[in-house]
Amino acid sequence: MRLHRWIALLCIAKTFPTRADDDDDVAHFIAQLRAEANAAYDGDADLSAAVGRAAFVESFVANGLEEAARELRERGACRAAVDELDTATSRAWPLPCDGCGRALAADVATAEDAAALVAAATAAMAALFHQGGRTAVVPDAARLGGAAAAVVDALRDRAAAVITEHLGARGLVAAGALLTRLSGRPADDALELDAGHAYWEPHVDRDNVAAYAYSALVYLGDQGADFAGGTLEFLDGDGARAVRPRRGLLVAFSSGAENAHRVSRVTAGDRFSLAFWFAADGVT
């Protein structure tokens, strides 16, 4: 009932503005979400033992805003309210989980950044082998060109800043990067290495390279607009936690078994993402 009430208020305020303080409706919604989050936290001893208050409250608010925006989109109405909710979520926040580190940050890559990298990757991948729907390229100047490589360097620095601030990492050292395309209609050509490659299987990043301490993904397109499928899922003991890719969104997480994850199969379009891995002090 709380969500539906606030959706109705937001729709009325943004469609038929009548008060000078209409622009405060999202702020009021956020304040209500914070109050509910604090009450839930205080009433659950197991929750307070597992995660800090600030992390829980910020995640509760972010999830509430995303849920409201999703319902508004599904109803095809209240465009202004959706836009304001999207703006309200454009920042970094930690994601609570049991014994792991995760964080999201919106708008880490601009639309221009994403377009430049997609264009450079598409050109570079034209002559690369692929495994089913997956094609990957090391995003350096030799393969992407100097301008695109400079964008990659800037995004690596932004990813490291989010990991340092929100996951408490120290002494980060770049340990690898890949720019990957997952295609809903993979080419059947002479460059095919393994048509049956199942990139959607669960995996742990540190199992691939023992030095990985932290991982980061930057999405270069929007799920729904640019591709179908391709949801990131963290495989927690009590169920999967899903992250829907949006252009410019960064997902950062510790690279061990606490963050086993998978990406659902892309069924249409092309999903481009830029992955970074870091070593860190005190993580072996």
Q: What is the pLDDT of residues 214-236, one digit of tens each?
A: 999 999 999 999 999 999 999 88
| C-alpha span between 39 and 114 (Å, rounded) | 40
pLDDT of residue 1: 38
Task: Quote the mean pLDDT of the chain.
Answer: 82
The yes-or-no verdict on residue 45 having pLDDT over 90 is no
The yes-or-no verdict on residue 81 having pLDDT over 90 is no
The yes-or-no verdict on residue 48 having pLDDT over 60 is yes
pTM of the predicted model as reported, rounded to 2 decimal places: 0.69
* Domains of the chain and any CATH numbers: 2-89 (no CATH), 105-279 (2.60.120.620)
| C-alpha span between 11 and 179 (Å, rounded) | 40
% of the chain beyond a pLDDT of 70: 76
pLDDT tens-place string over residues 156-208: 999 999 999 888 899 999 999 999 999 998 777 777 778 778 899 999 999 99
The yes-or-no verdict on residue 23 having pLDDT over 50 is no
| C-alpha span between 134 and 253 (Å, rounded) | 22
Instruction: Kindly indicate the confidence band of residue 80, based on its pLDDT and cuts at 50, 70 and 90.
Output: low
pLDDT of residue 114: 97
Instruction: Kindly indicate the confidence band of residue 90, based on its pLDDT and cuts at 50, 70 and 90.
Output: very low
The bridge status of strand 232-236 relative to strand 239-243 is antiparallel
The yes-or-no verdict on residue 21 having pLDDT over 50 is no
| C-alpha span between 106 and 266 (Å, rounded) | 22
The yes-or-no verdict on residue 75 having pLDDT over 70 is no
Beta strands in the chain (DSSP E): 92-94, 102-105, 134-137, 173-183, 214-219, 227-228, 232-236, 239-243, 250-254, 261-263, 268-279
Best CA proximity match to 84, nearest among 22, 145, 176, 32? 22
| C-alpha span between 144 and 33 (Å, rounded) | 44
More confident residue, 50 or 160: 160
The yes-or-no verdict on residue 138 having pLDDT over 80 is yes
As a whole number, mean pLDDT of residues 81-100 equals 58
Least confident of 55-59, 125-129, 267-271: 55-59
The yes-or-no verdict on residue 88 having pLDDT over 70 is no
pLDDT of residue 31: 82
As a whole number, mean pLDDT of residues 40-57 equals 73
The bridge status of strand 268-279 relative to strand 214-219 is antiparallel
pLDDT tens-place string over residues 245-278: 889 989 999 999 999 999 999 999 999 999 999 9
The yes-or-no verdict on residue 22 having pLDDT over 60 is no
